[in-house]
Amino acid sequence: MELFPGRGQRNKSHPESQTYGAADSGSISRGFVLADGRAYIPDLDYDLDDLILGYDEPLSFDESLLALTNPDSDSKQTLQEVAEQTAYGKVFLNHLIRRQRALSLSVAFTFLAIILSIPLLSFFTHDFGTIIIFEFPANWLFISILIYPLIWVLAYYFVSTADKYEEEFTKLVE
Amino acid sequence: MDINWLSVVAIIGVAFATISLGLWATRVVRTTSDFFVASRTVGPIMNAAAISGEYLSAASFMGIAGMVMKFGYDVLWYPVCYAAGYLFLLLFVAAPLRRFGAYTVPDYAEGRFNSAGFRKIVVVFVLIIGFFYMLPQMKGAGVTLESVLNLPYWVGVVVVGAVITLNVMLGGMKGITFVQAFQFWLKLFAISIPVFLLLMYFGSYGSHINNDLVNNKTPRFTETTTITYKAGSILRFSDSSAFVPANSGLVQLNGQSALSLNAGEKYVVSNGEFKLLDANRLTFESGQVVPNAPNANVWSQPFGLLTGDSAENHGLSMLYTYSLIVAIVFGTAGLPHILVRFYTNTDGKNARHTTLIVLGMIGLFYMFPPILGVLGRNHAPELYALGTTDRLVLELPGKIQPDWLAQILLAVTAAGAFAAFMSTFSGLLVSVSGALSHDVYGRTIRPKASTRARRYAFRLSALLAGSAAVIAGLFVEKFDINLLVGWAFAIAASSLFPMLALGTWWRRLTKAGVTSGVLLGGLSSSLSIIITMLLGQTDASVGMGITLSKVNPLVATLMAQPAIWSVPLSFATMLIVSRFTRKQIPADVNQMMLRLHAPEALGLRKDYINE
């Protein structure tokens, strides 16, 4: 069973994991053993590729994250691990950052796709400027009025989702 | 022209309220932290109103309406992107920036990249952006006092500049948080009430646009109007018109040989371009076509006069439009005087909520100015002929009947305009003086300076920056307010925004990468804007460098609106150089990420600077 499967394939039962790798230090090379015996070494750094395509990790927090065995025994709380930026703690923080970043990028691209298509519509279709809706030419109506509620709705979606992610994260590590 | 004393009272009232609120708040100011970021205790609604109050400048209050009247549809992108910029600020910058817990953008730059040298580079861009942004506020001040009090342009610039500088010197940031919030509500009131009443009087918004779109209506004088023109003035008629010159003089038709005008004779002109070679006073009867009013088709449709010189080349106009969108949307998230306000939130979550409220507030506001622009085309067309569309907001309410209502509304919009440039100029002055005193003096010149010395330095910096803005403000009378503001956005979008976005979300950004990106993007965009300004000076009404557009229209468009290439250039430089300097990634970068992104509820982090 995979601990970090792609989106939508997550298995709900918890793997029994073990620690693996150099036990003596908090080095990056340390990873975790998944229930099926495969090694999982978390990618603790960002790279160019995942700046653009950073969607390959699970996009929600759940108990499966906690199922990673704490490599430094039980003496530390998860919160402390996050604070001290041990390999184990980094996994948690990275998840939060990636999730937030994926959210930000998806909202940004949605908005840019809408706003940047308006000049194209005007350029290639004559109708966009001449169809009259509620007394207004469609292009005026959209750009001078309708776009503002649209921006706000996108922003509202972002804020509520980002708050939710943080609450989940906080609950998980505390 | 008579002076509307009600407007004078309103303006003095706004100035008095602003200064006394500032002075009152000064009593509460005790520590340096109070002074710079209001001790980080401002709640979301108050902070949102203060951010909106600071953001809605002369460009928003006066500039948009005037430019919609002058150029038409394309100008609608300005308010849309001014608002949408906050979406990007929210998505990429707001919460992490607050969590990082520094005072200013240069603090962030130094803290994130462990480099005092990089900080100095960022300070330079903070100063450049602030300075570009101050110019249009000064112009707003000059134009308002000119319109209301019949004072020369320079008097408005000097008087308003002096009053605001003094106020900032006395109050600091805490002083203006309350004042900015108050001024937001004042501005919203001052634009919405006149718009509602004018719509009731003149008829609906949509029907006015339709007038132009369906009936291809050309603006005509609503009353007999006499206009004084300087020698060399150009009059473009989009339809046949007639006028009576007061003096004899020469005129050049469509660039051909000069003809003479005789005083007192009536001249009928067909569409075309007239250049008055001698100063003259022309009288137009009511019903004659207004010179310099754009053709209805060009005005009401995309890719018109704003975005290009040549109405035929829509490809270039689209390029201009896209570049404008990129500049403003990304530039907002890199404006230092706005970003400094995010440090005044209590935590990162509140910073997000504040931004959401700001988006509601300014989104509401931005629906109003274009309405005034549309009404102005139909009901105050003489502003086209006078070349003073920037004054539309101050003139249009005077067209309503009865007269007492017109006087009241004129006073209301004058007060709003005054609040607009006053609040933005104050905010800019705080930001620029903060950069000078906190970054240049407090960190570079004398790091061990006492609190007292720092506060003194802040006041001295405010005085210096305010004086510089006043002096430069005297020279920008010819430029459209939004054009000047747009340039500040383009520079911010190409320098500070990429630094903040990548620095916050990409841990492999290195010092060499960020430095080269900021320098390359920021300097190349500044340079092309300055060249455009200098070349375009002869006819700044058209938003492009005239000399250059004759040589190569594509180059002219790319230089007048550089964001479309300079923003990607800055990002690409950061990514590529960081890739080649991987060894420079600071060892404590994970600690940075923790500080930027960990929710406060965990209680892990402390502010970068405490007291």
- B472/B589: higher pLDDT: B472
* Confidence (pTM): 0.83
pLDDT at B370 over 80: yes
Nearest-by-Cβ selection for B594 from A48, A93, A104: A93
CB contact under 8 A, A173 and B505: no
Coil vs helix vs strand at A30:
coil
- Is B117 within 8 Å of chain A by CB? no
CB contact under 8 A, B349 and A166: yes
Determine which helix (DSSP H) or strand (DSSP E) holds B261, and give its type and residue range. Answer: strand B258-261
Q: Would you state the structure tokens that stand for residue A7, as one six-digit string? A: 């989106």
pLDDT tens digits for range B335-359: 888 888 777 777 888 889 989 999 9
pLDDT at res. A11: 35
Residue A79's pLDDT band (boundaries 50, 70, 90)?
A: low
- Is A93 within 8 Å of chain B by CB? yes
pLDDT at res. B522: 92
Q: What is the mean pLDDT of residues A1-17?
A: 36
Nearest-by-Cβ selection for A119 from B206, B302, B599: B302
Amino acid at B173: M
| Integer Rg of chain A from CA | 22
pLDDT at res. A9: 35
pLDDT at B607 over 60: no
% residues pLDDT > 90 (chain B)? 15
Cα–Cα dist B520/B531, whole Å: 16
Name the residue among A117, A109, A88 with its Cα closest to residue A158: A109
pLDDT tens digits for range B409-434: 888 888 888 888 888 888 888 888 88
- Is A122 within 8 Å of chain B by CB? yes
- Is B205 within 8 Å of chain A by CB? yes
Q: What is the mean pLDDT of residues B435-449?
A: 75
pLDDT tens digits for range A20-46: 333 333 333 344 555 455 555 554 444
For residues B41 and B346, is the Cβ–Cβ distance under 8 A?
A: yes
pLDDT at B16 over 50: yes
Coil vs helix vs strand at B23:
helix
Q: What is the mean pLDDT of residues B288-294?
A: 81
Amino acid at B479: F
CB contact under 8 A, B364 and A147: no
pLDDT at B327 over 80: yes
CB contact under 8 A, B579 and A100: no
- Is B412 within 8 Å of chain A by CB? no
Cα–Cα dist B594/B58, whole Å: 39
Coil vs helix vs strand at B543:
coil
pLDDT at res. B603: 63
Q: Shortest Cα distance from A120 to chain B (angstroms)?
A: 8
- Is B445 within 8 Å of chain A by CB? no
Amino acid at B147: S
**Lowest pLDDT segment from B13-22, B330-339, B396-405:** B13-22
CB contact under 8 A, B579 and A48: yes
pLDDT at res. B482: 74
Which residues 4-43 on chain A approach chain B with CB closer than 8 angstroms? none
Which residue is it, tokens 């007291």?
B611
Coil vs helix vs strand at B561:
coil
B272-276 vs A136-137, strand pairing mode: unpaired
How many Cβ pairs within 8 Å bridge chains A and B? 150
Q: What is the mean pLDDT of residues A107-118?
A: 90
Cα–Cα dist B579/B479, whole Å: 42
- Is A99 within 8 Å of chain B by CB? no
Residues in A closer than 8 angstroms to B575, CB to CB, are: 48, 51
Nearest-by-Cβ selection for A151 from B77, B83, B579: B83
pLDDT at res. B419: 85
Determine which helix (DSSP H) or strand (DSSP E) holds B397, and give its type and residue range. Answer: none
- Is A102 within 8 Å of chain B by CB? no
pLDDT at res. B493: 93
CB contact under 8 A, A148 and B604: no
pLDDT at A148 over 90: yes
For residues B179 and B96, is the Cβ–Cβ distance under 8 A?
A: no
- B278/A146: higher pLDDT: A146
Residue B73's pLDDT band (boundaries 50, 70, 90)?
A: confident
Q: Shortest Cα distance from A18 to chain B (angstroms)?
A: 25
Phi-psi map region of B269: left, alpha, beta (phi>0 left; psi -120 to 50 alpha): beta
pLDDT tens digits for range B84-113: 999 999 999 888 888 887 778 888 888 888
Mean of the per-residue pLDDT values of chain A? 65
pLDDT at res. A15: 39
For residues B70 and B389, is the Cβ–Cβ distance under 8 A?
A: yes
**Lowest pLDDT segment from A54-58, A70-74, B221-225:** A54-58
- B61/B454: higher pLDDT: B61
- A69/B468: higher pLDDT: B468
pLDDT tens digits for range B493-541: 999 999 999 888 888 888 888 999 999 999 999 998 888 877 764 444 4
For residues A58 and A5, is the Cβ–Cβ distance under 8 A?
A: yes
CB contact under 8 A, B349 and A79: no
CB contact under 8 A, B318 and A82: no
Q: Shortest Cα distance from B387 to chain A (angstroms)?
A: 25
Burial class (CB in 10 A: 0-12, 13-18, 19+), B448: exposed
Nearest-by-Cβ selection for B91 from A107, A135, A152: A107
Here the ipTM equals 0.86
Q: What is the mean pLDDT of residues B12-37?
A: 66
pLDDT at B79 over 80: yes
